[in-house]
A and B are shown apart, each in its own frame.
Chain A
């Protein structure tokens, strides 16, 4: 449902186990952002610092895969509130670079990072109740919720975001041209 006051489309974005590179690439649409903002309003997003999705959001862009319990909760919140859920970038689509830890047992990963790595003083594995629990393996988001569309790339180029959003605003089925499909 579009924003009732302005009749603009509501978009939410988040980064799960990602590096914010996809968000940065989104911003690379540069001054076209002003054109976009004539048609859309940002709901929950690092752009607005709104912490939770509004009741009805039209489009949710998810960067990053799932590496901890909080990622899963956030993803589920998006799926509950968002009509069109989009996996953005390699990590959301296939786990990406964070998933390269998947063949190493979690315990070994933590020990390497917090106990054995060079330059660590007072080695200890963080165990604060505020820290979300890590999953044993990093997972792409389609393994947990239904995903409606995918924008591949590491990151997807600004053109990919633009193509997708313009198709959407024109109420067309989004269609990336072959030249815009890249996995790197």
Chain B
């Protein structure tokens, strides 16, 4: 047994804290975690306090007697700041983004009650790669969660994507001499194309099939959507 915010729950050996929480119907905010992939532990949105210390729920193994805090004012404020950092270090102009309403970053920010960006915006110069006939890559919105990297490598068996550079210079690259997506072996049916939690990888000519205002998170809070999906009740990928 362990407790989250004072509520006792049981877990199975080998589960992470995130998996134990999800199985018990407790939502912990997350962006880089996906139940079908090995944990990556990069976005830090799943930060909780375990026996008084900060830890990432998606990577920490669940253990007997853990006292976990999640819905505290301190953690909520930290998660808002982390989300704001993700917004200001990229170029997130939601009103002109094809993914708006279906975006997990945006929906997570809604759930956290984020009203502003707090920090000065970086407005970085990022690349848009429209070379592929069916797939658009807009790095303005990439949050470096590596879900596409993991999906392409572990599910599609292709390793089309990778991360290059360090720190502020980190950026998504594709496996082609030219650096252009069209010269990779990616196909529109690849899992990697549909896994992106934000609007960085998009399938061309499909963006406005569903009008803004009628999209998933326009009417369903992400807590409920992700709990159901992560418990195996269907996919909420694009």
Contact = CB atoms under 8 A, between A and B. Distances in A.
Counting chain B CB atoms within 10 Å of each CB, the highest count among A94, A99, A137 belongs to A94
Given A178-B221, A184-B212, A97 B116 contact: no
Interface in A93-138: 93-97, 99-100, 102-103, 137
B121 interface: yes
A102 B101 CA distance: 24
A150 interface: yes
Contact of A142 (B95, B97, B116): B116
Contacts, number: 73
Contacts of A97: 93, 95-96
Interface residues of A, number: 28
Contacts of B91: 100, 103
Given A137-B123, A184-B100, A147 B116 contact: yes
B111 A178 contact: yes
Interface in A138-184: 139-140, 142-143, 147, 149-152, 154, 176, 178, 181-184
Nearest to A92: B116
Contacts of B96: 97, 100
B120 A143 contact: yes
Contact of A176 (B92, B109, B115): B115
B110 interface: yes
Contact of B117 (A94, A102, A181, A182): A94
A3 B95 CA distance: 37
Interface string B190-232: 0000000000000000000000100000100100000000000
A87 to B, nearest CB: 7
A183 B117 contact: no
B93 A100 contact: yes
B93 A102 contact: no
A90 interface: yes
B113 interface: yes
B116 A102 contact: no
